[in-house]
Amino acid sequence: MDLRVKRTTKNIKDAFFELRKKKSLDKISVKELSELAMINKATFYLHYRDIYELSDTLENELIERIISDVHNINLTKENLKWFTETLSRSILKNKDYIETLFSGYENNQFIDHLEISLKSYIFQTFPWIKNNSENNILLSFLIQGSFRTYIRNSNIDKDVLLDTTSNIMMRILSEYTF
């Protein structure tokens, strides 16, 4: 990719992030974003159809980053603790980004997309559990519950938060067999 295109894309994303700190998604205009990114509106439209496509792109990039953090872990029953801790650290590492870009309704949309992506990754490793209702419920519970726990308890020491949630997840998983 051309360096100018990379720079323009970065400026657009940075401007969006700054505006998103102050406003809901539906209150951000292309004109305002373009001015902040120091581009013209036509340049914005060369990259994105609208503000919502930009938001979706950022959401997908964030989910890809989180998945890539856990992707290289050999996902076996023995490595579930390491997997959950790595996933937890990735969510906490991206917490400010998540909270800024996906506040309110968008936060629910983000965690739902993250859950779908994580389940897809897990089902690739454990294909036999995909069509089992209990497995789907358990994974939803662990993903949604841990995400909400990290976001709502971010004032707690990160190591304590990670250790506590990881131990709870492992206790649940030790009682459950895939």
Residues 63 and 39 in one domain: no
With contact defined as beta carbons under 8 Å apart, do 59 and 107 qualify?
no
With contact defined as beta carbons under 8 Å apart, do 169 and 142 qualify?
yes
Is pLDDT above 80 for 106?
A: no
Give mean pLDDT, residues 7-32: 94
**Domain containing 40: what range?**
3-48
Round the average pLDDT of the chain to a whole number and report it.
Answer: 86
Query: What is the full DSSP assignment across 68-122?
Result: HHHHTS---GGGHHHHHHHHHHHHHHTHHHHHHHT-THHHHHHHHHHHHHHHHHH
Residues 38 and 61 in one domain: no
d(CA 101, CA 105): 11
**Residue with token string 């959950």:** 84
Residues 102 and 79 in one domain: yes
> Which of 48, 63, 85 is the last residue before a domain boundary?
48
Query: For 45-67, how does the pLDDT look when each residue is reduced to its tens digit (9 = 90+)?
Result: 999 999 999 999 998 999 999 88
Query: CA quadruple 37, 43, 47, 53: dihedral positive or negative?
Result: positive
| Rounded percentage of the chain residues whose pLDDT exceeds 90 | 33
CATH number, domain containing residue 20? 1.10.10
Confidence category of residue 74, pLDDT binned at 50, 70, 90: low
φ and ψ at 31, to 5 degrees?
Answer: -60, -50
Residues 35 and 60 in one domain: no
CATH number, domain containing residue 108? 1.10.357
